[in-house]
Chain A
Amino acid sequence: MRGLERYLRMEKFPHIWCPGCGNGIVLGSLLRAIKKLDLNQDRAVIVGGIGCSSRAVGYLDFNTLHTTHGRALAYATGIKMARPELNVIVITGDGDATAIGGNHFIHAARRNIDLTVLLFNNNIYGMTGGQFSPMTPVHKKATTAPYGVIEPNFDIAELARVAGASYVGRSTTYHSGLLSELIVEGIKNRGFSLIEAITACPTAYGRRNSMKGGLEMLLWQKENAVLVQKAEKMDSNELAGKIIIGRLHSQASPEYTAVYQQLVDGISQKTGGGMIAPLKGT
């Protein structure tokens, strides 16, 4: 926490998260990344959706926006378009980003607009009490899947890559240092960046799936995460059930607000301006 207080609205604590929840660790990784980059708090906007993770924006001393469920990326798109010079970071959860917000997610990635998305993946809908999300693994139990989930789950990192994101990373709360490094890279990337943070929800997910408490879930992450460099040398049998972490994808590609500016500049050259003087208000 040392040196990070300046980024927090300290008077808003204690936070709402349950004992054993990993969200605080993800938030810590974000703040360390922001500190490392020395981001100007007045020039950064942090946008959240709805759900446990998205409530983080209330604790952060930035321009913060807590939006409607699933729509964080669409709100963030408007902010970034209006003021491309701002750093816009989006905090969202697996339910928020991949179910109700799934369409906004693939289109924001497709545009490669310069947003950094920190997706807290706790494999469950926490705030509504433990219903399954599109990222709850098959056969796992949830209040709305008492016999186990029968739907295959999303690989959000892969989805982001094929949709057009220029940076994709994944880590866990056990590997919080790596998580912070990935966030730094994501913020630096000029384009759409997704960082998936695997985080534990002992209350709504672990409890129903024989994972005991928060500590056991952290240790599970330690045992089941494989660094991408190591994974490249492993076969599919060895990788079954493992989580690949690290920088999964990084490829520079045209960024939306920059392309838009080029379009504007191109029109001005062709037409010799066409700029209408701003009107005086009353």
Chain B
Amino acid sequence: MTWKYKRIIIEAVVIFCLGVVVGLSVNHRMVIDAFAGKVASKAAPPADSASVAQYPVPTFLEEVLAEREEGALLVDARVGELYREGHIAGAVSLPLADYETQLEQFKQDIDPDRTLILYCSGYGCPDSFDLGQVLLEEGFRDVRVYEGGMPEWRDQGLPVEKGAP
């Protein structure tokens, strides 16, 4: 390889590294939190780590099934219409779009120490995550987001119910 091309590659690596350094210096807090959060959620029970975490803990199908057996409450963050068309069996409806009107009732009905597993329309749907942040701010201590959501649940042939919230 000629020097000309070596130089191009070296300069490209420098550009890349410069971008990484600038990005890390701007966002170092977020990255440190993310890596610390991961270690903490593995080392401590989720109920303890969630009380200090600002963000709901992401969770996956196997964990959802296990937690559901142990009494976790599934919360559907989609709009009421989608909930009526079909939701995870046993899930309650708390649409992100209407949470302001329904939150007080929800807080009265649900123990703040209960494990809540939020879901919406799967990967790429932000509602469950956003609702999770609201619920953490409102004092719920163990809030998780089931990222696969309704599409994954349905595709696995797991129980689905229809009906009004």
Binding between chains A and B: no
Spell out B's residues near A (CB within 8 Å). none
Spell out A's residues near B (CB within 8 Å). none
